[in-house]
Amino acid sequence: MYSLAFGIGTQNANGDWLEVYFPAPIFRPDESTLKAIASIVNYNGGNADIILDDQLLGRLADAPLDEGQRGNLKLMVGSRRPCVLTLLESDSKPASTPEVYLKLHLLSHRFVKPNEQNLDDLYALLPNVAWTEIGAVDLAEVTSMQLRARTEGRVLEVAAVDKFPKMTNYVIPSGVRIAHSARVRLGAYLGEGTTVMHEGFVNFNAGAMGPNMIEGRVSQGVTVGSGSDLGGSASTAGTLSGGGNITITIGKDCLISANAGTGIPLGDRCTIEAGLYITPGTVVQVMDEDKNFFKLVKARELAGQGDMLFIRNSQNGVVECRSNRKAISLNNALHAHN
């Protein structure tokens, strides 16, 4: 069994799921826990969503679960919102909105890291909804709810229209600071000691391993190693919107300076100077630590290597990579005739 969770969510007037909150997912439950749950809900295996009525909730609350889970189940009895048990026996492509939400929760609860789950075609299962102070509202229903609120002398605040909610309405990881909660989506991974400043952004299926200072953008699929810093307005190339298939990773103790960015993976202890964006096709003059010329290469040839300092020569505009010569390994066959 991959994971399971008891959740409470929102459906529209047609009974379609808009979102699901899973307060305490159980990752890789032991056999006795799974057996106890399965016998109550008549679960026979596979990935499944099982609607829980008050009778099932009551029986589950008496099952041999930990006190936290039993307490959550007791609170759910009598809920005016639909309750669901989602079980994932395998990490196959999501087949329902609750499945997607459970996988996003697993990321933000730090049970899995970015790119460790199958999230294929998740957009088709995430409805675009209005996120309000009363939760998710179907876009076809929002106008009538706004009108009803006005007749009651109040305004229905719509904070966003999006497929993803902000993480802090679902998960608040331990040991983190988030200056502007709307800039961290559910499904972000924030390791212990991470700070996301006001202009920082962390997408779903992306994350900082912690501790990190994030003042720039961590795009979908990108991971930032411990001790690394993304300066103000710095960015990392993701795999969405034509961003390519290369997964960008930033190693430990790196600095992507203000307004800089990278479209290639970086190893440990790398620095990119302010305002410089390194793309795979950027022509880079590789220098050793004494500024002696080494090679002229495309940046993709340096991908994943450590101890690199990328700067732009202010006199001639050439992008330079300065490093200990032993720290860089190039494809000699590719450059044998340079």
Regarding whether 199 and 309 lie in a shared domain, the answer is yes
In a domain? residue 108: yes
Q: Which of 215, 273, 301, 320 is labelled catalytic?
A: 215
Regarding whether 248 and 99 lie in a shared domain, the answer is no
Q: 197 Cβ partners below 8 Å, 6+ apart?
A: 179, 180, 213, 214, 215, 232
pLDDT tens, per residue, the chain with 338 residues = 689 999 999 999 999 999 999 999 999 999 999 999 999 999 999 999 999 999 999 999 999 999 999 999 999 999 999 999 999 999 999 999 999 999 999 999 999 999 999 999 999 999 999 999 999 999 999 999 999 999 999 999 999 999 999 999 999 999 999 999 999 999 999 999 999 999 999 999 999 999 999 999 999 999 999 999 999 999 999 865 444 568 899 999 999 999 999 999 999 999 999 999 999 999 999 987 777 777 899 999 999 999 999 999 999 999 999 986 666 665 554 344 33
As given in the structure block, the two tokens for residue 79 are 């809920």
Can you tell me the distance from the alpha carbon of 204 to that of 238, in angstroms, rounded to the nearest whole number? 11
In a domain? residue 113: yes
Can you tell me the distance from the alpha carbon of 196 to that of 229, in angstroms, rounded to the nearest whole number? 10
Q: Global pTM? A: 0.93
Regarding whether 245 and 201 lie in a shared domain, the answer is yes
In a domain? residue 202: yes
Regarding whether 309 and 175 lie in a shared domain, the answer is yes
Vertex 125, ends 112 and 100: CA angle to 5°?
20
In a domain? residue 61: yes
- The CATH number of residue 195's host domain is 2.160.10.10
Regarding whether 66 and 157 lie in a shared domain, the answer is no
DSSP count for the chain of H helices, then E strands: 5, 27
Q: How many domains does the chain have?
A: 3
Can you tell me the distance from the alpha carbon of 94 to that of 86, in angstroms, rounded to the nearest whole number? 11
- Residue whose C-alpha is closest to residue 48's, from 5, 106, 104: 5
One-letter amino acid at 299 equals A
Can you tell me the distance from the alpha carbon of 162 to that of 136, in angstroms, rounded to the nearest whole number? 10
Regarding whether 152 and 222 lie in a shared domain, the answer is no
- The CATH number of residue 143's host domain is 3.30.60.70
One-letter amino acid at 171 equals V
- Residue whose C-alpha is closest to residue 247's, from 309, 324, 304: 304
Q: 306 Cβ partners below 8 Å, 6+ apart?
A: 251, 266, 267, 268, 269, 270, 327
Instruction: Give the per-residue pLDDT at 333.
Output: 42
As given in the structure block, the two tokens for residue 11 are 């459906």
At 89, which helix (H) or strand (E)?
none
Instruction: Give the per-residue pLDDT at 293.
Output: 73
Instruction: Give the per-residue pLDDT at 245.
Output: 67
In a domain? residue 337: no
Regarding whether 253 and 226 lie in a shared domain, the answer is yes
Regarding whether 145 and 196 lie in a shared domain, the answer is no
The answer to whether 234 and 215 are in contact (CB under 8 A) is yes
What pairs with residue 185 in β-bridges? 166
Can you tell me the distance from the alpha carbon of 83 to that of 6, in angstroms, rounded to the nearest whole number? 7
In a domain? residue 334: no
Instruction: Give the per-residue pLDDT at 292.
Output: 75
Active site residue 320: no
In a domain? residue 332: no
Regarding whether 319 and 209 lie in a shared domain, the answer is yes
- The CATH number of residue 67's host domain is 3.30.70.2010
What pairs with residue 286 in β-bridges? 295, 321
Regarding whether 179 and 158 lie in a shared domain, the answer is no
Q: Residue 302 sits in which domain range? A: 168-327
Can you tell me the distance from the alpha carbon of 167 to that of 202, in angstroms, rounded to the nearest whole number? 10
Regarding whether 51 and 193 lie in a shared domain, the answer is no
Regarding whether 181 and 320 lie in a shared domain, the answer is yes
Say how many residues make up the chain. Answer: 338
In a domain? residue 335: no
